[in-house]
Amino acid sequence: MFTIDKYILAENLEQAYELNQNRRNVIIGGMLWLKMGRKRIGTAIDLSALNLNTITEDEQSFKIGCMCTLRDIELNEGIKNYFGTLLNKAIENIVGVQMRNIATIGGSIYSRFGFSDILTVLLSLDTYVELYKGGIIPLEKYADMPLDNDILVNIIIKKDGRKASYSSHRLSATDFPVLTCAVSNKGRQWFVVHGARPMKAKLTKIEMSENPETEEIIAMVAKLSDDTPFGTNIRGRMEYRRILAEVLAKRNIEEILNGGSHAN
């Protein structure tokens, strides 16, 4: 069980940042994962009062505050209108409504969990993170950075018109995924993400024709599966994940070719 010596409801980001430079202090997002650990937290820094639980949309992008819950994203009309069922497919299997009313997008993305559905789907889109000190950087780059003491303030998803599709495989509903997969496409550029490998989600960019023939798709997903590292854990062996990776990627590509869950 974790412990907290002191709790502070931050009054501004500078205060939160300063506090977060002490390695015993932690910014608490949804706190779901933290709660299950044994960390002895000096000061728990809460960003709840900084109005970071809003989703704003303009012509170019969506800006999602780090304290938005997964349920906020699931229910947001603008996101549903633009992305169709894409994001919901990646969110709806995460435990249940009560949990998704607590889990924050900032906590999920900052932690870059190896089982993350949401990291997988966001990597397939033109997504950026806005850090308090580090500025705006692509999620792809952020995903590979070590956990640091900066603050993830917003997540920005650009509306670049790409089509995308998401799927995951679970042994039972609401369990952690055995494998997650998101694919998106813009012109000849294809973006394939495999997550829950059981390592952190990995994005691979590939050139392929806009309307590939079945043989081309099969060859592509087989090569991807060979080139992507997979591992073994209680939910599945490396060999099983490699097979699943091909199947899920192929299904996602086919869904995109048939319109996709997010077709513009």
Partner 1 sequence: MQIKLFINGREYSGDIAPDMLLIDFLRANGYLSVKRGCETSNCGLCTVILENKPVLSCSTLALRANGLHVTTIEGIQEEAADFGGFLADEGAEQCGFCSPRFIMSVISMTRELKNPTEDEIKKYLEGNLCRCTGYMGQLRAIKKYLDIKSKKECSHEVC
Q: Is 7 a binder of partner 1 (CB under 8 A)?
A: yes
Binding span for partner 1 by CB under 8 A among 34-42, 117-125, 223-231, 243-251: 34-42
User: Which of residues 30 and 84 has its CB atom nearest to partner 1 in the complex?
Assistant: 30
Query: By CB under 8 A, how many residues form the interface with partner 1?
Result: 28
Contacting partner 1 (CB under 8 A), which of 66, 67, 71, 157? 71
Q: Is 114 a binder of partner 1 (CB under 8 A)?
A: no
- 8 Å CB contact between 7 and 44: yes
- In this structure, the strands spanning 163-170 and 177-186 are antiparallel
Contacting partner 1 (CB under 8 A), which of 6, 24, 133, 158? 6
User: Which of residues 96 and 161 has its CB atom nearest to partner 1 in the complex?
Assistant: 96
Q: Is 95 a binder of partner 1 (CB under 8 A)?
A: yes
Q: Is 80 a binder of partner 1 (CB under 8 A)?
A: no
Q: Is 44 a binder of partner 1 (CB under 8 A)?
A: yes
User: Which of residues 170 and 251 has its CB atom nearest to partner 1 in the complex?
Assistant: 170
- 8 Å CB contact between 176 and 196: yes
Q: Is 101 a binder of partner 1 (CB under 8 A)?
A: yes
- In this structure, the strands spanning 202-207 and 55-57 are unpaired
CB of 99 to partner 1, least distance (A): 6
Contacting partner 1 (CB under 8 A), which of 80, 92, 204, 206? 92
Q: Is 24 a binder of partner 1 (CB under 8 A)?
A: no
Please give the Cα distance from 80 to 102 (Å, whole number).
20
- 8 Å CB contact between 153 and 52: yes
* The residue to which tokens 């992507």 are assigned: 228
DSSP state, 49?
G
Contacting partner 1 (CB under 8 A), which of 174, 189, 232, 264? 174
- Secondary structure class of 139 (helix, strand, coil): helix
Please give the Cα distance from 194 to 186 (Å, whole number).
18
CB of 98 to partner 1, least distance (A): 5
Binding span for partner 1 by CB under 8 A among 96-104, 151-159, 187-195, 253-261: 96-104
Q: Is 264 a binder of partner 1 (CB under 8 A)?
A: no
Q: Is 32 a binder of partner 1 (CB under 8 A)?
A: yes
* The residue to which tokens 């889109």 are assigned: 125
Is the backbone of residue 31 left (phi > 0), alpha (psi -120 to 50) or beta? left
CB of 94 to partner 1, least distance (A): 9
- 8 Å CB contact between 17 and 151: yes
Alpha helices in the chain (DSSP H): 13-20, 32-36, 70-75, 77-83, 86-91, 97-100, 105-111, 117-123, 139-144, 214-227, 238-257
- Residues lying near partner 1 in the complex (CB under 8 A): 2-7, 9, 28, 30-32, 35-36, 41, 44, 46, 48, 71, 92, 95-99, 101-102, 173-174
